[in-house]
Structure 1
Amino acid sequence: MEAQIDRLFREHPCFSRAAAHWFGRLHLPVAPDCNIKCHYCTRLYDCANENRPGVTSRLLTPGEALQHVRRVLAVEPRIKVIGIAGPGDPLANRATLTTLRLVHEQFPDLIKCISTNGLLLSENLPALQEAGVKAVTVTVNAVSPVVGARIYGYVFYRDRVYRGRAGAELLWRAQYAGIRRAAEMGLAVKVNSVLIPGVNDEHLYQVAVAVRAAGAHLMNVIPLIPRGAFSSLLPPPPGQVARIRQKLTPIIDQMVHCRRCRADAAGMLEEGGA
């Protein structure tokens, strides 16, 4: 397990700033559906110049995604990671596992990863591992139901809709279980946390403590891009982001080179790959 984690931190550009100088990533936009509603998220439109999660120029079928991998690798051999990060939640879409299996059969040496809200992570981990996934990113914005209720409009789980504190509590329980199980299975685990001024900025310390206790290896504090119900908020200033990262570093290692990638991102982070 330790050897696998070491490889991830040597070669995955999102887990290591040094790796970002040498290796690239390719995101496959095969997952449009989502099972939670985040107040900062909107996926209703795409601009070619936008670089944010939830954006893609087009959706791909699993077969198209495999062909896309072949085309991109032919022109950019530095691609080391194949990821699925949306534009919805990967685990709310059957196409995710189908795509990962197809790619893993043809390119077993590439690192496979997903970025998920974590609601369905624990129950899908055996299938993900079978499909070659070695790294997961879980977006955890709150571990308190009170704070989470301000961030999530609803959580849809097993044919039921949960709102308010009930939804936030359910989501965190699932995220904790998924992070813990993924770490126990030897996967590298990164946590993304959106910094929302006036909502969870004072709460991220508790988030860092909780996800580290669950087994996460790395945390990425992402400044809010005001969208959706949070469109009237101001994004946090860079100084606040830096101060919070510095405060959290003794608890869990911090990612500082995130490019807030699109769901169809391709190329090198350090060279401005979209």
Structure 2
Amino acid sequence: MQKMKMRKMPGVSMSGRLFCAVYLLFWLMPSSGFAQSVSQTDAQKKAADDASTSGDIRDCQLSSVANLSATAGNVDRDKLAQSINNCGKVANSENHSTYWRSDAFKKIGESYYHLDDLSNAMSNLNKAIELDRTNATAYYARADVYQKMGDARKAVSDFESAASYGDKMGKMNGYQRIALIYNDQYNYDLSIAYLTKAIEIASPLTTDPTLGFMYKVMMANLYKNRGTIWSNKGDSVKAQEDYKKSLDLK
């Protein structure tokens, strides 16, 4: 979703451009979590939806690229409106599975967010979560809405849910977003704790033969962010240690 206009850590950039691009592609896709207690009929619908290479689901997925562009700062209101229309055909149709309907409502919510219509964004993201309580990306998107509305407590709760239900990428980013909220509240101990959680997840992934380079970029930014918080807290020794770790990964 669109970058939040919130106070950043002094001297800290959130993530490298390469990481951002890969990360956004991960979050464009539906959540990997899906409740197991679905009816056989719904399971059959999902199988049919998964196998489909045309029709409403394809149109929703393709047009929702407008959300990705908006996140990068290129807001095209006409394309966002088209995404809402196309994804609405999936979200509001009983012919599609709960999984894909939840994903469609999430994408509609994201589009409304980029259009600065927070009321409709919240309404559709609530529907996404009601349909699939394990939709990690919907929680993450709703957390962005809460944060833009100024409700940090609910934003933290949804980022926690996103981390709980998400894959490792989702967990790392959920924890980092929570850390940034606590930094804004000058709660440096909790901010450090959540960044440490993110680092612990990312660390063993840096040797991945395919995505290791991406996790190294993430790790470098996580260490840099944590170093800044140590500095804010008044611990220059630990701050320098983290800054060095960040530089060693670049």
TM-score w.r.t. structure 2 length?
Answer: 0.31
Greater relative contact order (CA < 8 Å, ≥ 6 in sequence): 1
Structure with bigger gyration radius: 2
TM-score w.r.t. structure 1 length?
Answer: 0.29
Q: Which protein has the bigger strand share?
A: 1
Q: Which protein has the bigger helix share?
A: 2
